[in-house]
């Protein structure tokens, strides 16, 4: 089995070909979790509870920290979502606002 560090160039190219801006190997001990993120979803997103990859179904901050503690490194991909022109009435779009975090690399 290949080490993650040897796979990064290949994974990075796949990510770039898929529309990512970048993909980097990072240490898991620099990843921070926060309880407020779940509250932002609960009270700021019309799609709360409708997607299995989002709260309340996604891991809690405590569960995420425990999972991360089992690893030394992680691959972090950066995608920037830009709104497209659409004919959909804004009242029917699930997410009220778009926020983004950008890791400085």
Q: Both tokens of residue 85?
A: 């022109």
What does the pLDDT read at residue 96?
43
Omega cis (within 30) before 56: yes
Identify the band that residue 6 occupies on the pLDDT scale cut at 50, 70 and 90: confident
Question: In the chain, where are the structural domains located?
Answer: 4-92
Identify the band that residue 91 occupies on the pLDDT scale cut at 50, 70 and 90: low
What does the pLDDT read at residue 83?
62
What does the pLDDT read at residue 9?
92
Distances in whole angstroms, Cα of residue 92 to Cα of each of 47, 49, 54, 88, 95: 11, 16, 19, 7, 9
Tens digit of each residue's pLDDT (9 = 90 or more) over 7-65: 899 999 999 999 999 999 999 999 999 999 999 999 988 889 988 989 999 999 999 99
């Amino acid at each position: 089995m290949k080490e993650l560090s040897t796979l990064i160039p290949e994974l990075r190219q796949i990510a770039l070909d898929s529309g990512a801006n970048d993909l980097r190997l990072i240490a898991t001990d620099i990843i921070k979790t926060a309880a407020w993120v779940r509250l932002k979803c609960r009270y700021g997103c019309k799609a709360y509870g409708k997607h299995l990859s989002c709260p309340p179904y996604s891991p809690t901050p405590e569960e995420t920290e425990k999972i991360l503690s089992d690893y030394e490194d992680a691959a972090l991909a950066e995608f920037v979502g830009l709104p497209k022109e659409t004919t959909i009435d804004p009242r029917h779009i699930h997410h009220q606002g778009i926020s983004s975090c950008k890791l400085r690399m």
